[in-house]
Amino acid sequence: MTQPANVDVVVVGAGVAGMYAVHRFRRDGLTVRGFEAGADVGGTWFFNRYPGARCDVESVDYSFSFSDELQQEWDWSEKYATQPEILSYLNHVADRFDLRSAFTFDTRVESAIFDEDAVEWVVRTDAGECVRARYCVFATGSLSAANTPDIPGRDRFAGRVLHTAAWPHDGVDFTGMRVGVIGTGSSGIQSIPMIAQQAEHLTVFQRTANYSVPAGNAPMTDEHRDEQKAEYAERRRLSRLSGGGSPFQPHPHRALEVGEEERRRAYEERWNMGGVLFAKTFPDQTSDPAANDTARIFVEEKIRSMVADPVIADRLIPKDHPIGTKRIVTDSGYFPTFNRDNVTLVDLRETPLHEVTESGIRTTGEHYDLDAIVFATGFDALTGSLDRIDIRGRADRTLREHWRGGPRTYLGLGVDGFPNLFLVTGPGSPSVLANMILGAEDHVDWIADAIGYLDRHGYRGLEARTDAVERWQAELAERADRTLFPRANSWYMGANIPGKPRVFMLFLGGFATYREICAQVAESDYDGFELVDAVRRPRP
């Protein structure tokens, strides 16, 4: 079927955000075209198929809330869903709401250029198609532009080279192979135990040790599932009142307001709940260095108890960032993996990476013979996927140029000089610091409501005002400066990509506060946005 070349909205990306965007815009009677580089829906979950890939938010929370029928009919099999299960869920959603018909797959958007006279976005793809739209919504994901570091000799290696974020669809059999994994973020830490079980030998190249908490994963019993489904509405309500978009609140007291025994009990409880939630045991854990230290000491003890060799344990204990200021990884058997005879840990702080050779990796210490190298080296987060598209706003100004000093947004939703362009869960929003599905739903709903408002009032669009962007950027910085987050060389800070401006890119005030701010802006007739009016005079 021929797709229209003129629509109300173009949606870029068919991950969770783009999928919901198509659904919601269509429901509002808007015409939509979607473009997706992958061959099907799923975004992150389509590409990141490495062994052990799993969400670090409980499956029951990391799922769409917009349809209660969908919530009730889908059965999660585990507390934390694996990548294949999440992808089959997203496929189910795509089928159920006929989302694929709006998307053109295997197609990258190459440019999006604002036509000031027509007040339209002109979107061009790598297939040579050109579509005009009143609004352009970038649902391009926070972690979708994979980062492969430029290690000398990278292309010389004769064995297999893999990146966790572009994993082959038919899987990889490491049996009998000597495998090297570079990187110990979530992707490395999740895949290392699985690869170790299969490979003849695994060498882990660690630049920065990372905090990781066992998932405490478990199969979902029928009884537990029924209970969760019966309480879904309440669970969602609590999630929306929380800091992280899941129905959990930190301890009511600050870490040092309680005695040693209570503090230990609280940490133990969170440790047993599993995963990333450990970072929010106490409300001041990532803002007060003394509180942070109590969490650090607790986790260090845990790591030492899991790793037999004290020298290896010491290498695995992070030294250079406060706990929680890089995302705590949710793992399945990571630390005990280093007790295996077929696993070697190479600390790149002691012996830095020197080069990739035809037959392996050479550090300043020695050469490691390898049959496969796995890059688990992360992403050009938050801005990378947008940077790769030629986006031009008023006066032909590129977004790349506009963001040269770091991303600048209003609410993480709009950009000054780029009318009718919306970002979903991008820089300036809580993004990955909160439940990404609920966050994406909120953003899409906010955008759809805004379009509805503009249409009802005869406006042709809206544009973030520069003063509002500056106020928002100042607010992000002030909130970050009250915490320990800027101390870490994290991807939140852009610190993992050489040359990227060092700016804390996210809103740290929590999910509930952020939702409230966005709602207030909408209620105040989009305060901070200029309304573009072809029919009436501009708003004073």
* Interacting residues toward ligand NA7 by CB under 6 A: 143, 149, 164, 182-188, 207-208, 327, 348, 353, 376-378, 432, 491, 496
CA distance readout (Å), 45 to 18, 54, 89, 314, 333: 13, 9, 10, 34, 22
CB of 198 to ligand NA7, least distance (A): 20
Three-class SS state of 100: helix
- Which CB, 106 or 320, lies closer to ligand NA7? 320
For the bound state, the minimum distance from the C-beta of residue 537 to ligand NA7, rounded and expressed in Å, comes to 46
Token pair of 455, please? 């249409």
User: Of the two residues 212 and 473, which places its CB atom closer to ligand NA7 in the complex?
Assistant: 212
Which residues in 126-224 belong to E strands, given as ranges?
130-138, 160-163, 178-182, 201-206, 212-214
Q: Which is nearer to ligand NA7, 434 or 521 (CB)?
A: 434
Distances (CA, A) of 109 to 39, 460, 478: 14, 24, 35
Smallest distance from ligand NA7 to CB 164, Å: 6
Beta carbon of residue 183, minimum distance to ligand NA7 (angstroms, whole number):
3
Least separation, in Å, of the C-beta of 354 and ligand NA7? 11
- Looking at the Cβ atoms of 187 and 292, the one nearer to ligand NA7 is 187
Helix (H, G, I), strand (E, B) or coil at 162: strand
Quote the tokens at residue 27.
């429901």
Residue closer to ligand NA7 (CB basis): 166 or 233: 166
Shortest separation between residue 304's beta carbon and ligand NA7, angstroms: 21
Q: Is the dihedral of CA 217, 219, 224, 229 positive or negative?
A: positive
Residue 214 forms beta bridges with which residues?
A: 331
Query: Which residue has the CB atom at the shortest distance from ligand NA7?
Result: 185
Q: Are 429 and 443 in contact (CB under 8 A)?
A: yes
Strands (E), 310-426: 329-331, 343-347, 353-356, 360-363, 367-369, 372-375, 390-392, 421-423
Q: How many whole angstroms separate alpha carbon 97 and alpha carbon 189? A: 35
By beta-carbon proximity to ligand NA7, the closer residue of 13 and 419 is 13
Least CB distance to ligand NA7 at residue 70 (A): 24
Question: Of the two residues 59 and 184, which places its CB atom closer to ligand NA7 in the complex?
Answer: 184
Nearest to 339 by CA among 305, 368, 365: 305
